[in-house]
Chain A
Amino acid sequence: MHDPRRFKRAFMERLLLSLQVAGLTSKSMGLRERRDAVRLSSDVAMASSRGRGAPWARALVARHAAERRNEALLRRIMGGSGYERAAAAAAAAAAAGRKEIRSKKIVRRSHRVCSSRRKRRSLVMATPAAASGAMSSSARRMVKGRLRLLRRLVPGAESLHGFSLLTETLDYVVCLKTQVELMQSLCKGSQQQQQQLLQLG
């Protein structure tokens, strides 16, 4: 696991730089554009501070890179090579997603064709309860459903299962909490600064 203090410091530095680079004080920016730019800056700062080793970090940046309108800002924040890498990852993910949809259709078709009495192997993670057989099949289905939802919520977790899914989730939640904390203190700092300016003026 990474060093939380160093992560926080790097995150804040990158966030401030990105916000500056995003030109958010420009009066010509629309509301939505500005808000999206802040969100993008924050996400990219978080992901790059975490490092490319974390699947969620790569996936988060790729998600932003997948949208053409973000290209200019991303290039300014990440540099040309950083952007190219993220855009390539986005394209690869899109291709993999299309492939997965095709193969899922094939699997579904073959399940219908084959006998319904085929035993389904349990895909549920090896929780202590499940391992001891104490889980009913309906509880197992619920756990499966929740894991599926988790896979959608954590970026890049679509192909993760069981233990990896949970460790990735843990890592992601810790960083998300930091993101909230840093953005809150930025808001507070900006507000205080404005109040001070107002008092002086």
Chain B
Amino acid sequence: MSSRRSSRGAISDEEINELISKLQSLLPNSRRRGSSQASTTKLLKETCNYIKSLHREVDDLSDRLSDLMSTMDHNSPGAEIVRSILRS
């Protein structure tokens, strides 16, 4: 990761394009787009929205998980959970 962190002048357009397309492919509903200026702003906006929605999901999952764990038996340790996950 640090190999690319040279001064801004030394970063090639190709590296930037690669980075942008990687980011694009992470987003849900990623569509093939040319690297026009419209897609740069759109990409950034979608990235921001996506991060916000992921944060909300983690919040929601924290709620659910804490509910589930509060109703669990004292005696059942994490091993039970691990086993059930490995089974699923």
Contact = CB atoms under 8 A, between A and B. Distances in A.
Given A29-B70, A167-B19, A180-B58, A20 B77 contact: yes
Nearest to A34: B66
Interface in A146-191: 146-147, 149-150, 153-154, 161-164, 166-167, 169-174, 176-177, 179-180, 183-191
- Size category of the binding interface on chain A: 35 or more
A126 B74 CA distance: 56
A27 B48 CA distance: 38
Contacts of B35: 127-129
Given A134-B37, A189-B84, A35 B66 contact: yes
B58 to A, nearest CB: 6
A186 B19 contact: no
A114 interface: no
Contacts, number: 173
B69 A53 contact: no
B72 A176 contact: no
B45 interface: yes
B51 A154 contact: yes
B65 to A, nearest CB: 5
Contact of A189 (B19, B55, B85): B85
Given A129-B36, A171-B1, A19 B69 contact: yes
Contacts of A143: 40-41, 44
By secondary structure, the A interface counts as: helix
Contacts of A161: 8
Q: Which of B4, B66, B78 has the most CB of A within 10 A?
A: B66
A186 B61 CA distance: 9
B76 to A, nearest CB: 7
B58 A167 contact: no
A135 interface: yes
Interface of A: 1, 12, 16-17, 19-20, 24-25, 27, 29, 31, 34-39, 42, 53-54, 125-131, 134-136, 139, 142-143, 146-147, 149-150, 153-154, 161-164, 166-167, 169-174, 176-177, 179-180, 183-194, 196-197
Given A134-B37, A149-B48, A174-B26, 19 more contacts: A19-B65, A39-B59, A130-B40, A135-B37, A139-B37, A146-B44, A146-B45, A150-B47, A150-B51, A163-B19, A164-B5, A170-B22, A179-B58, A180-B61, A186-B85, A190-B69, A192-B88, A193-B80, A197-B73
7 contacts: A19-B78, A53-B1, A143-B41, A150-B44, A186-B81, A190-B84, A192-B87
